[in-house]
Amino acid sequence: MGIEPHRSAGPSALPRLEPLRHVRTDVLDVAYFEAGPRAGEVTLLLHGYPYDIHSYVEVIPRLVRAGHHVIAPYLRGHGATRFVDDATPRSGQQAAIGADVIALLDALHIGRAVLAGYDWGGRAACVAAALWPQRCGGVVSVNGYLIQDISRANTPIAPELEAGFWYFYYFLTERGRAGLTANRREIARVIWARNSPRWHFDDVTLDRTAAAFDNPDYVEVVLHSYRHRLGLALGDPAYDHLEQQLAGQPPITVPAVTLDGLADGNFPATDGTAYAAHFTGPRAHHQVPDAGHNLPQESPDAFAAAVLELADMRSRAGSGAA
């Protein structure tokens, strides 16, 4: 498989993760980009909101050169990923996106993979690692332990942070539904600028990602994600048993690397101690200079290094080294 992303024609064209492959799970027809040797360690790269798989456009070549077999799927409601049944609720809840990870591994006949992500993708990785540790060879998560404690949804945080989460509350309203439907790209622009104040992205970069928002289920999945996490929407009953487990804030027992960007405009960097108790296996934490919330796209070297660090952690744990 090729290492380098496909570059479309034109002098100013950006590299694109093409061609896409498709595989069907019980719920989704998942579109994904794949690269690297099939015999290599499988690494799933999971994107966030409002982003897409191109957050990893510079991470993937680094991992492939290190021998990894990389898969970057579009999450439900994004890109060319589609629901297979019109009757399936368009849920964006944490249990659903975590279960999608395991369903994708099943559909691809992959027993175990490294799970790496940020934002929604980091949450999906944490959920899958906590509930199905036997399927996870290690986890990389930006901003640490991302399993939501929905019982605390009504607990306020500092006002300056609440202001940055304006879209959480906007999406609770029907005005927010209309706004997201009409202004998907421009809402993303505002969130990107706030979350990553040192990331000087251009219109071409935004356009490449915004194409993923044209998915017919995008609005409903996004709205449900934020309404559910704030305790104002019921979940899909198919995931009730998983949400019950997640309510207990289950530990992540597999090796983990957590990252915080020092230039994250709305998720302040920490030393990792506040959520350390949720990781009961080997863990390393790193602060990444100049990186904002979309850390793999802003600092691909640091993100790729975190994935590669997991192998060393497993080796040390297996040898009994400190």
Residue 172 in tokens: 């609770």
Residue 23: beta bridge partners?
30
| Whether residue 273 has pLDDT greater than 70 | yes
pLDDT in tens, 65-117: 999 999 999 999 999 999 999 999 999 999 999 999 999 999 999 999 999 99
Residue 145: strand, helix, or coil: coil
| More reliable by pLDDT, 259 or 4 | 259
pLDDT at 13: 80
CA 265 to chain centre: 18
CATH class of 19-319: alpha beta
For the four alpha carbons of 164, 150, 101 and 270, in that order, the dihedral sign comes to positive
The Cα-based distances of 268 to 124, 161, 258 in angstroms read 21, 9, 14
As a whole number, mean pLDDT of residues 192-209 equals 97
The Cα-based distances of 29 to 82, 146, 222, 233 in angstroms read 5, 26, 18, 25
What percent of the chain has a predicted confidence (pLDDT) above 70?
95
Residue 52 in tokens: 């897409």
pLDDT at 5: 65
Single-letter code of the amino acid located at 237: P
Q: What is the b/e burial string over 274-296, where b = at least 16 CB atoms within 10 angstroms of the residue's CB? A: ebeebbebbbbbeebeebbbbbb
Residue 109 in tokens: 């006949």
pTM of the predicted model as reported, rounded to 2 decimal places: 0.95
Domain range annotation of the chain:
19-319
The Cα-based distances of 152 to 49, 74, 103, 118, 275 in angstroms read 22, 29, 29, 21, 16
Single-letter code of the amino acid located at 261: G
What share of residues in the chain are helix, strand, coil (percent, to 5)? 45, 15, 40
